[in-house]
Amino acid sequence: MGKRVLSGMRPTGPLHIGHWEGVLKNWVQLQSEHDCYFFSADWHVLTTDYERASDVGANVVDNVADWIACGLDPEKSVLFVQSDIKEHAELYLLLSMLVPIPWLERNPTYREQLRELRRTHVPPPLVQKINKELKSRAKKELGQRLQAVVSAPEDAEPAETLMDLLPEIEAVLSKDLFARLKQAATARDLSTLGFLSYPVLQTADIIIYKGDYVPVGEDQMPHVELSRDIVRRFNALYGETFPEPQGLLTPTPRLLGTDERKMSKSYDNAVFLGDSAEETLAKVKPMKTDPARMRMTDPGDPDKCNVFSWHKLYSSESEQEDCATKCRAAAFGCMDCKMILAENLNRELAPIRERRAALLEEPNRIKEIIADGAGKARAVATETIKEVREAMKIHG
């Protein structure tokens, strides 16, 4: 067996094909090459979604069923839930004593995620009502600024935020509408210790198993570098205890949602692993295509079509070539292209759906797999904590 690999996934909701393509396919391959520990990172959910703590437990069972349905083998990998191993919390606490706050504040991923999460998702009907009232009060320009803020692209750096606009809006908007807007704007306060220090918990998750590799995409490398910094600091203070984890860069196909935004449950633009064939077809049919192709007689450009980007993952090379040729020649319509995609996507997902359904009929089996994995993980974590206490010369 090769090196030890450690990776986790936050159980924020049902898994979709973005998780399958971006994470799970890679995990399935790694388990045949390395000593793999994969965990459901339920504590990490609370760093951003602490108000939804009651949803996490059900998501854990559902997600682990998806993992196994996708090919993860409990005989080859250790599958467990983060919160079942209390040693993660102890090591997180000890590491937090020696990590300088500026290290966390400089983390580019932290800044980007904070910016994204602070961009409040105000329900469109509420925005329309507010704009209508602002217009009636000769405040159309303020309504336009509000619209710009709530509809800003994810990767944009807004000139102003919703919180910036609230004082101006409060001065002119009816109390009821303003109260609803303010509730949306302040629904999630991320100025929390947990959110700032999640990289410390992440480091504890990795090094408590003395993980050698952490599979990541290019954008997640800052997480691994920060973990390496923390390990170096600990080893310098207390002696060589932990290996420095290495980022295992893996190819991650870019798979946008049906509306060309990031695939997400909150955007209602994802095909979930648990969707039926009919539900999958219903989601593929309205997918956005080349915007320049307004009519069937207009030639299209597959390179500008989100549907074709999905074909690259689920259709054969000959089908891709045939679809591209016909698209450019306006020889068939976008719906014909989508029907081929849906058929191929359903063919790939069919065995996953079948295994998933069988697993969910036996929830006790899933819980047994999780408990067995927790036992294996705890044995390693307990030994590591013993070494840490000895290195730090603290009681216990």
pLDDT single digits (tens) 41-77: 999 999 988 878 888 999 999 999 999 999 999 999 9
Q: Which amino acid is at 43?
A: W
What whole-number distance in Å separates Cα of residue 370 and Cα of residue 64?
Answer: 8
Residues 257, 314: Cα–Cα separation, whole Å:
15
What is the percent of the chain where pLDDT is above 70? 94
Q: How far from 302 is each of 141, 196, 325, 373, CA to CA, in Å?
A: 39, 42, 9, 45
DSSP string, 227-266: HHHHHHHHHHHH-S-SPPPEEEE------B-TTSSB--GG
Residue type present at position 308: F
| pLDDT at residue 181 in the model | 82
CA dist 222 → 23, 203, 218, 233 (Å): 18, 12, 9, 17
The answer for 125, left when phi > 0, alpha when psi is -120 to 50, beta otherwise, is alpha
For position 116, what pLDDT does the model report? 62
Nearest Cα residue to 194 out of 9, 43, 13: 43
CA atoms within 13 A on the CB side of 240: 2
- The pLDDT-based confidence of 124 (bands split at 50, 70, 90) is confident
Q: What is the pLDDT of residues 179-206, one digit of tens each?
A: 888 877 766 667 789 999 999 999 999 9
Per-residue model confidence as pLDDT tens digits over 235-264: 999 999 999 999 998 777 779 999 998 898
In this prediction, residue 114 has a pLDDT band, given cuts at 50, 70 and 90, of low
| 271-281 pLDDT tens trace | 999 999 999 99
Query: Considering the chain, what percentage of its residues have pLDDT values greater than 90?
Result: 64
Contact, 200 vs 91, CB < 8 A? Answer: no
pLDDT at 115 over 90: no
